Amino acid sequence: MVWTFHHILMDGWSLPLVMEEFLSAYESRATGMEVITQEEDKYEDYIRYIERGNKEAEEDYWRQYMKGVEQGTLLPFINNTSERTKGSGSYKTLSLHLTETLTEKIQGYAKSTG
């Protein structure tokens, strides 16, 4: 499987949900079971939910919650340690070059299996 998407389409919260749904559907198809679908959430419903909120109460909550914070700070679950450095780790690029024959076989398989 090759999976690619533009970063504006998904964030770190939705990616695991999409992957879970995909793997569940894949397993169902692979075992001959029916793929179970659910009604999709509508962004419009979320906007309506936000509009119904009490803006003054929300602002009061955050003003109290942030009271005393005068400068940038870490989230409570992030440790302030030297191990927490940005950009650490190793990154590599892997290129896969397919022959024209293999590419045609892959495309033929994809078309035949839908």
pLDDT by 10-residue block (mean), the chain, 114 residues: 81 86 92 90 92 94 92 77 63 88 95 90
- Amino acid occupying residue 110: A
pLDDT of residue 37: 87
Which amino acid, one-letter code, is at 90?
S
> What pLDDT is stored for residue 102 in this prediction?
95
At 18, the amino acid letter reads: V
Whole-Å CA distances, 26 to 31, 40, 106, 107: 9, 18, 18, 19
Tell me, what's the pLDDT at 48?
94
Task: Quote the tokens at residue 94.
Answer: 């892997």
pLDDT at 93: 85
Q: Work out the end-to-end distance of the chain between its first and last CA atoms, rounded to an integer number of angstroms.
A: 14
* Euclidean distance between CA atoms 83 and 20, whole angstroms: 31
- Is residue 29 a contact partner of residue 35, using CB atoms and an 8 Å limit? yes
State if pTM tops 0.85: no
Q: What is the pLDDT of residue 52?
A: 94
pLDDT number for residue 49: 93
